[in-house]
Amino acid sequence: MTVTQTSLLPESEAKSGGFSIELIHSASKRSPASLSMELVPEPLGNYLINFSVGTPPMFQLAVADSGSHVNWIQCEPCVHCYSQHLPLFSSLNSSTYKAIPCGSSQCFQNNCQGSQCTYGMSYIDGSYSNGDLGMEMFTFYSPKGLKEISFPDIVFGCAHSSKLADTNPNMSGIMGLGVSPWSLISQISPAFGQKFFYCFVPLAQLDVPSTLTFGENAWGSTGALFTPICLKPFKHFYFLTLVGISVNSKRFNLFNNSTTEGNIVIDSGTTLTSLPTQLYNQVETAIIQAINVEPFFKENSTNPCYKDLSGSDVPPVTMHFIAADLPLSKENIIWPTGQGIWCLAFRPTEDQAFYGNVAQTNFLVGYDLDKMIVSFKATDCTKMA
């Protein structure tokens, strides 16, 4: 892959073969036309990559999503699309856009409309994206905007019909970091390898950007905990194995078929952590008993909520993954929903369990796709920018 460096990366990044970019939360004041951070959108919230597409460049904000395997943005004409603040990308106005024809090896779903390769994506939460497949110049920017790096011929979806469950108008689409030859991490791997990490700031501190780093300097974190990635046929997720959860000193283990290898997906594009119902009920009961304050429940929500909790009110919670016992902090266990209200950041599910981004805040979370491991290191992510 040819990589264009409009201005040189720092020597330390060049030697280590990596680069870092900012992530902006969809509820942050840094996000264009966003509302005050006093209220975090419920039940969703995502960390967005600021980048540009095409020549001349058109700026975009896409969800950094390790649970998705295809990159896509909304494009003109957008017939059935959600409203977004940023202008829609027009392939006709870009000198570097290349349509992917039918029969091409990059036409990965073998869907066609005439001679044009098309795609269709659907997601567990009801989101979807349909449109044309093309190749284009993607340009990413350093945290301070002093340098940029461009990748030509990135395969992506140009959506003409799309829906996101989180209809925040700051989002242009999704940047797939999942398991697929068509994800961003795979497409830039010839230049930077198959390693990346992110550090998400907590929801109460969104005035500070989060960080996403690709390449060799995304690894070698002393003091990190490591757990293996489990891949499954025809799935594009990073599956981990959750053995159980402890609240205070009481441990609750998973049951029945939930104990199989690869029973939970780590997902940067999902907000709350969903757990098998039986395990969730045990964890919720133990947390409520430990807090010892009567919770209340918001309309259309099963999550217990509290007013003005201090950190000392929240009991220690530990996630027990294979080879990694991960202690959580207050901001991983409960999340701010506005007006001094904090709600439990877990929810029950009868379907696939997901390890959401609230549980990952203030951790340096690394993915090594050569060794097939994920690492966690407790970190003050506000100091990473």
Hey, what are 241's tokens?
């194995």
Distance separating alpha carbons of residues 369 and 91, to the nearest angstrom: 32
> Could you list the active site residues?
65, 267
Q: Tokens 């869907």 belong to which residue?
A: 111
Rounded Cα gap, residues 58 and 159, in angstroms = 15
Q: Phi first, then psi: give them for residue 279, nearest 5 degrees.
A: -65, -45
> Beta partners for 135?
98, 155
Which burial class, exposed, middle or buried, applies to 15 when counting CB atoms under 10 A from its CB (0-12, 13-18, 19+)? exposed
Find where tokens 């209809």 sit.
Answer: 167
**Of how many residues is the chain composed?**
385
- Are the C-beta atoms of 198 and 47 separated by less than 8 Å? yes
H or E stretch at 345: none
Give the integer Cα–Cα distance in Å for 53 and 143.
18
